[in-house]
Amino acid sequence: MNNQPLNTNLKPNKLNGIFLINKDTGVTSHDVVFGLRKIIKDKQVGHIGTLDPLADGLLVCLVGESVKLSDYLMGSNKRYHLTFKLGLETDTWDITGKVLHTFEKTVSEEALRAAILDFTGEQSLPIPMYSAKKVNGQKLYDIARGDETLENFEGPPKEMKFWDLKVISIMGQTATVEFWCSKGSFVRSWIYCLGKKLGTGAVMTELRRLDIGHYSLENALTLDQLRKEMPTVDVSVKKPYFLTPWQALQGYEILQLDTNETGKLRSGLVSYALSDRISKLNYKGDLFCFQDTQLVGILNLAEKITVRRVFVNS
């Protein structure tokens, strides 16, 4: 992590950056956002990567002008620790749902371990109907809830990728594993399809998110812990659970600007000098522009240079 101090060039008590929050089970991601708003006394809070109430673990929350970074951080890979149980299927593909089928078939520990480790790589898997994924402008869970005759809870297929699978434990027909997965992958889809492949059914019973890109649960605080920290926190001292935009974007493509280039970009313009510098980079994609440690703007480099976002004081 970069050792730059927290950004204090903002209005008094106005935080701008990323909080790493350890979400508890039983609450929604929106509940966490609502709680964080009360703690920091600011309504400008968002999050990336929704966690269902059943799940706990890392939730990345954006505060201040950093909410504008949401679309750019959403594409990160994620690592999960999960437990599932064979022998049944539910409409939600987890233990909270309505039981649709039960199975008497069991599998040996060796067969289950082999099936888990084999179910890796790129897969085209159905999206759970009980998810917020939209199809033709309608959320799948609205479709599922509105159709009492629905018997198949498989949504449209989606390309997903799973790797670095590790079997943590197997106890009878219950297994705990860890893996990395790509943006937009559904853990419940992986579990459901594994159960289908084994002919036993399977449902998720526990889920913990460990990492989002290079952001780790190890550095996160629960809301209760953060509530105790905030009244006495010294914003001039680096905290592992709070990252400035400069710290948060290490590992992304960064370009340093001079004073003239900064002034132009904050007006939504790209100076001739900056355009000339960029043309020599031989890079395509999003470029995060800083003056020292202050985020100025985001440019997209394709056939032409496009100003995607401007930051007033980040």
- pLDDT by residue for the chain (314 residues), tens digit each? 344 444 434 444 578 999 999 999 999 999 999 999 999 999 999 999 899 999 999 999 999 999 999 988 887 899 999 999 999 999 999 999 999 999 999 999 999 999 999 999 999 999 999 888 888 888 898 888 888 788 889 999 999 999 999 999 999 999 999 999 999 999 999 999 999 999 999 999 999 999 999 999 999 999 999 999 886 656 567 889 999 999 999 989 999 999 999 999 999 999 999 999 998 888 999 999 999 999 999 999 998 999 999 998 66
Q: Delimit the CATH 3.30.2350.10 region(s) of the chain.
A: 17-75+214-245, 78-212
Can you tell me the distance from the alpha carbon of 51 to that of 33, in angstroms, rounded to the nearest whole number? 12
The contacts of residue 254 (CB under 8 Å, 6+ apart) are 287, 288, 289, 290
Query: Phi and psi (nearest 5°) for 30?
Result: -65, -35
Phi, psi of 274 (to 5 degrees): -65, -40
Please provide residue 257's backbone torsions phi and psi, each rounded to the nearest 5 degrees: -110, 155
CATH of domain 78-212: 3.30.2350.10
pLDDT of residue 74: 83
Name the superfamily (CATH) of residues 17-75+214-245. Pseudouridine synthase (3.30.2350.10)
| Nearest to 209, CA basis, from 200, 218, 201 | 218
254-310: CATH number: 2.30.130
Q: Are 176 and 168 in contact (CB under 8 A)?
A: yes
Q: What does the pLDDT read at residue 138?
A: 87
Residues forming beta bridges with residue 181, ordered by sequence position: 78, 162
Q: Cβ(6)–Cβ(237) under 8 Å?
A: yes
Sign of CA dihedral 263, 266, 271, 277: positive
Q: Could you tell me where in the chain the CATH 2.30.130 domains are found? A: 254-310
* Beta-strand relationship, 254-256 and 285-291: parallel
CA dihedral 58, 62, 66, 72 (to 10 degrees): 50
Token pair of 247 as six digits: 């710290």
Give the residue numbers marked as catalytic: 52
In angstroms, the CA 100 to CA 216 distance is: 36
Q: Confirm if 45 and 62 have CB atoms less than 8 A apart.
A: yes
Degrees (nearest 5) of the Cα angle 46, 237, 56?
40
pLDDT value at residue 13 = 54
DSSP secondary structure of the chain: ---PPPP--SSTT---EEEEEEEPTTS-HHHHHHHHHHHHT-S-EEEES---TT-EEEEEEEEGGGGGGHHHHTT--EEEEEEEEESEEESSSBTTS-EEEE------HHHHHHHHHHS-EEEEEEEESSS--EETTEEHHHHHHH-TT----EEEEEEEEEEEEEEEEEETTEEEEEEEE-TT--HHHHHHHHHHHHTS-EEEEEEEEEEETTEEGGG-B-HHHHHHHGGG--TTS-BTTEE-HHHHTBTB-EEE--HHHHHHHHTT---HHHHHHHHTS---EEEEEEETTEEEEEEEESSSEEEEEE-S--
